[in-house]
Amino acid sequence: MSQLINGMKKTTIYEIANALAIDSSTVSRALNDSPRVSKNTKEKVLKKAKELGYSTNLLASNLRQNKSNTIGIVVPRISRFFFSTTIAGIEEAAFTQGYNVIISQSLEQLDREKKIINNFVANRVDGVLISISWETENCTHLKHLQDLNIPLVFFDRHCASMTNTNKIITGDYEGAYQATNHLIEKGCKKIAHFAGPQTLELYKNRLNGYKMALENNKMKFDPALVQESSLMKNYGYESMKSLMEKIDDIDGVFSANDAAAVGAMKYLSRIGKRIPNDIAFVGFSNDPLSEVIDPPLSTVDQFGFEMGKKACELLIENINAKGKNPWQYRTVVLQPNLIERKSSQKPVKIT
């Protein structure tokens, strides 16, 4: 095993070629196991490569092949549970297929998102997976990607204005419908909704699912029962507080995420309300918090890992199809799953 002195230059195929008195092209082909090289030479090359501590320079290889074997990921925040789970799924699929992932966070800022996309283009990523920021209403920077023939897949949050594109999303409408309907079945008469930023399609859909469930059960939709916020925990707390001050006979809450529900539950337990007896709760996302809070929070499971994995597989499929027959953009909807826990088990009223 060769000892490399600090800062010594890395071995290249030329050094291997020199050492064996053959041509660099033969070395390259040998290393790539090309049928154009004899078994004998391949063995010699491999042996010498090991001896010299050779490691392919993928920068060179990538340049020549005009392919980086890299996928760019943009998420609002890496540390948010749902996104870190999705990323885990993406990484898993990417690793299996020999792709690297580079990850950047938009921090919900459009201008950061644009910068990131530019950087990805400059780095010649083979494809992009993105969950857009709150601020992203104008998607020209993403359309531009498609113009450049760089495959793109949205996951979870997508651009409503782009119809011709790949996306993999949750059945938000259906999940919200189920959740609300479940509360109604448990006997709730006045159900509030914590809505997320209505710039995002997915929160609109959750609101619509809520509305439609009410309507189908002949309950009137009351805008005063809807609180829109960023759905962070403290907003759940505040939303609940201001709702309760205005309307005191709320007996159910469907929250568009778990964090806000948790915040609200904390407020209610502080003011002595019982869950689910006084107010029943259903959240969304199946955040680990939901299982731990007391009482455990009913929620809608989103399968983040699965979504990431599928999104990545779809992207790679698209990458591999480049240059072949025209690509058919695909929309995959993952149907979520209502998990019933104690927070929504209202005792049956005897009437």
Residue from 305, 317, 332, 345 touching its own copies (CB under 8 A): that is: 305
Sign of CA dihedral 60, 63, 66, 67: positive
- Rule CB under 7 A: which of 33-72 touch DNA? 35-41, 54, 56-57, 59-61, 63-66
Question: Is the Cβ of residue 191 or residue 259 nearer to its own copies in the bound state?
Answer: 259
Residue 301 has a CB neighbour count (10 Å cut-off) of 17
Question: Is the Cβ of residue 14 or residue 217 nearer to its own copies in the bound state?
Answer: 14
Please state the three-class secondary structure of 238-285 as a single string: HHHHHHHHHCCCCCEEEECCHHHHHHHHHHHHHCCCCCCCCCEEECCE
Inter-residue contact 199 to 277 (CB < 8 Å): no
Inter-residue contact 247 to 308 (CB < 8 Å): no
CB of 69 to its own copies, least distance (A): 9
Place of tokens 């006045």: 190
Could you give the CA distance from residue 113 to residue 120 in angstroms, rounded to a whole number?
11
Which of DNA, its own copies, none has residue 32 at its interface (CB below 5 to 8 Å by kind)? DNA
Angle (deg, nearest 10), helices 39-51 and 13-20: 120
Inter-residue contact 279 to 253 (CB < 8 Å): yes
Residue from 25, 198, 230, 320 touching DNA (CB under 7 A): that is: 25
Place of tokens 């689910």: 276
Residue from 18, 32, 198, 320 touching DNA (CB under 7 A): that is: 32
Which of DNA, its own copies, none has residue 329 at its interface (CB below 5 to 8 Å by kind)? none
**Who's near 5: CB < 8 A, 6+ residues apart?**
none
Tell me if 5 contacts DNA by CB under 7 A: no
**Who's near 19: CB < 8 A, 6+ residues apart?**
48, 52
Residue from 37, 214, 262, 338 touching its own copies (CB under 8 A): that is: 262
- Rule CB under 7 A: which of 114-173 touch DNA? none
Inter-residue contact 182 to 298 (CB < 8 Å): yes
CB of 141 to DNA, least distance (A): 20
Contact segment (CB under 8 A) with its own copies among 76-84, 185-193, 278-286, 335-343 equals 76-84
CB of 153 to its own copies, least distance (A): 17
Residue from 17, 26, 45, 105 touching its own copies (CB under 8 A): that is: 105
Binding site for its own copies (CB under 8 A): 3-4, 6-8, 10, 55-60, 62-63, 66, 68, 70, 77-81, 83-85, 87-88, 91-92, 95, 100-105, 118-119, 121-124, 147-149, 262, 288-289, 292-294, 305, 322-323
Binding site for DNA (CB under 7 A): 9-10, 12-14, 21-26, 28-29, 31-32, 35-41, 54, 56-57, 59-61, 63-66
